[in-house]
Amino acid sequence: MRGFLFALVRAARSRSRAELQTVQRRRPSDLAQRFSHSAAAPERPSFGIAFDIDGVILRGRSPIGGAPRAIRRLYSEDGTLKIPFLFLTNGGGVPEHRRALELSQLLGVNISPTQVVHGHSPYRELVDRFENDLIVAVGKGEPAVVMSEYGFRKVLSIDEYASYFKDIDPLAPFKTWKVEQETNNYMSAKVHPSYDVYSERVKGVFVVSDPVDWGRDLQVLCDILSTGGLPGSGKGDQPPLYFAADDLEYQAAFPSERLGMGAFRIALESIFNQINDHPLKYTSYGKPNPFVFKNAATILEKLVMSMYPNSQTSKEVKDCQFSTIYMVGDNPEVDINGASKAGHPWSSVLTRTGVFRGNDNDPQFPADTVVDTVEDAINYILEKECIR
């Protein structure tokens, strides 16, 4: 089947070459100027690319699939961005500017913070609603720092919040492992004593990244969500609950998939529904939510405008002007399904370096193209778009 697939890819490439020859015969100067900064009237690129990170670009913290070499092809020799692209990941837990720096170091190119879209990036849009409310941020990394940088003013990480309530986690004395405390613990009560967690109700819970201490977090979240935002105070209305993503599994450094935020959501929902007489209400962001793809298209449009400030393009982003945006991902249910649901101009490219390892295409969520690695994906896209 793999041979059959390669034959299909070869056929598509031949088609692209044939199409290119036809177009070149018609409009040679137009194509020559299409992606050149130095041309007299540079035209904006007609395509963009969104890359998933885990299982496509990195496994754990190690680049995979020829990612550094391949990503460098999207830059000019002087290091400036040539092809508009961004990273569209359901992961996160650190501010976007810090992830951009980490990716720049790992891949050897200059990645700007605007090119990093985390699962939790859309939380920015909720600042007005919760700006002065006490909220709890859950997950690995620095979830409270992420939310504070978005503009939320009264944020506590679940670690900090739980630490105020003696005996809230009855298993804590049995947790003998050493927990490294955040050195940048600037949201502590000492610095922000202006609110009292024993009387002020939590108005929103944001799962920013994969929870670390599932047992404690399930307990504390059930407390917050069942009591109207004040553990130990009796039943109350559930405060809003948000998840940055809903991935059941994802590819990390271990050979087989790991349980993701979606698995935690299932656990929390199942337990909450058993101990309450009404179902848990929540909102999930992240791929495959079509909103995420629409948001990514808008960000790519803005990126193109910054790359081509003197182009004819309107200064305002009204509609998506790309003829194609490629989603390169390893997870059929998340990346491919999301691109498919988003529709035009999204086109999906599935790699075999992560969750998907099949010889052929995924039967449930088939991609438009299947390749081995991200390097193959970039080669395919650049050839299809007639970029050398």
Q: Which is nearer to Mg ion, 227 or 347 (CB)?
A: 347
Q: Which is nearer to Mg ion, 138 or 350 (CB)?
A: 350
CB-based contact 241:282 (threshold 8 Å):
yes
Q: Which is nearer to Mg ion, 161 or 356 (CB)?
A: 356
Shortest Cβ contact with Mg ion: which residue? 55
- Shortest CB 287 distance to Mg ion, Å: 9
Q: Does 247 bind Mg ion (CB under 5 A)?
A: no
Segment near Mg ion (CB under 5 A); pick from 50-58, 103-111, 211-219, 360-368: 50-58
- Shortest CB 375 distance to Mg ion, Å: 16
Q: Does 54 bind Mg ion (CB under 5 A)?
A: yes
Q: Which is nearer to Mg ion, 219 or 289 (CB)?
A: 289
- Shortest CB 62 distance to Mg ion, Å: 14
Three-state SS annotation for the chain: CHHHHHHHHHHHHHHHHHHHHHHHHHCHHHHHHCCCCCCCCCCCCCEEEEECCECCCEECCEECCCHHHHHHCCECCCCCECCCEEEECCCCCCCHHHHHHHHHHHHCCCCCHHHEECCCHHHHHHHHHHCCCEEEEECCCCHHHHHHHHCCCEEEEHHHHHHCCCCCCCCHHHCCCCCCCCCCCCCCCCCCCCCCCCCCCCCEEEECCCCCCHHHHHHHHHHHHHECCCCCCCCECCCCEEECCCCCEECCCCCCCEECHHHHHHHHHHHHHHHCCCCCCCEECCCCCHHHHHHHHHHHHHHHHHHCCCCCCCCCCCCCCCCEEEEEECCHHHHHHHHHHHCCCEEEEECCCCCCCCCCCCCCCCCCEECCCHHHHHHHHHHHCCCC
Q: Does 338 bind Mg ion (CB under 5 A)?
A: no
Segment near Mg ion (CB under 5 A); pick from 7-15, 159-167, 326-334, 363-371: 326-334
Q: Does 55 bind Mg ion (CB under 5 A)?
A: yes
- Shortest CB 91 distance to Mg ion, Å: 8
- Shortest CB 354 distance to Mg ion, Å: 5
- Shortest CB 55 distance to Mg ion, Å: 4
- Shortest CB 379 distance to Mg ion, Å: 20
- Shortest CB 367 distance to Mg ion, Å: 13
Q: Name which of residues 104 to 163 contact Mg ion (CB under 5 A).
A: none
- Shortest CB 355 distance to Mg ion, Å: 6
Contacting Mg ion (CB under 5 A), which of 217, 330, 333, 376?
A: 330
Segment near Mg ion (CB under 5 A); pick from 37-45, 48-56, 123-131, 142-150: 48-56
Q: Does 332 bind Mg ion (CB under 5 A)?
A: no
For Mg ion (CB under 5 A), the number of binding residues is 6
Question: What is the distance between the alpha carbons of residues 100 and 97, in angstroms, rounded to a whole number?
Answer: 5
Segment near Mg ion (CB under 5 A); pick from 47-55, 65-73, 126-134, 341-349: 47-55
- Shortest CB 191 distance to Mg ion, Å: 37
Q: Name which of residues 341 to 360 contact Mg ion (CB under 5 A).
A: 354
Segment near Mg ion (CB under 5 A); pick from 39-47, 49-57, 69-77, 214-222: 49-57
Segment near Mg ion (CB under 5 A); pick from 54-62, 122-130, 272-280, 292-300: 54-62
Q: Which is nearer to Mg ion, 222 or 339 (CB)?
A: 339
Q: Name which of residues 153 to 212 contact Mg ion (CB under 5 A).
A: none
Q: Does 52 bind Mg ion (CB under 5 A)?
A: yes
Contacts of range 360-369, beta carbons closer than 8 Å, 24 or more positions apart: 360/1, 360/2, 360/4, 360/5, 361/5, 362/332, 362/336, 364/332, 364/333, 365/332, 365/333, 365/336, 365/337, 365/340, 366/332, 366/336, 367/332, 367/336, 369/9, 369/12
Question: What is the distance between the alpha carbons of residues 240 and 225, in angstroms, rounded to a whole number?
Answer: 8
Q: Which is nearer to Mg ion, 34 or 341 (CB)?
A: 341
Residues making contact with Mg ion (CB under 5 A): 52, 54-55, 330-331, 354
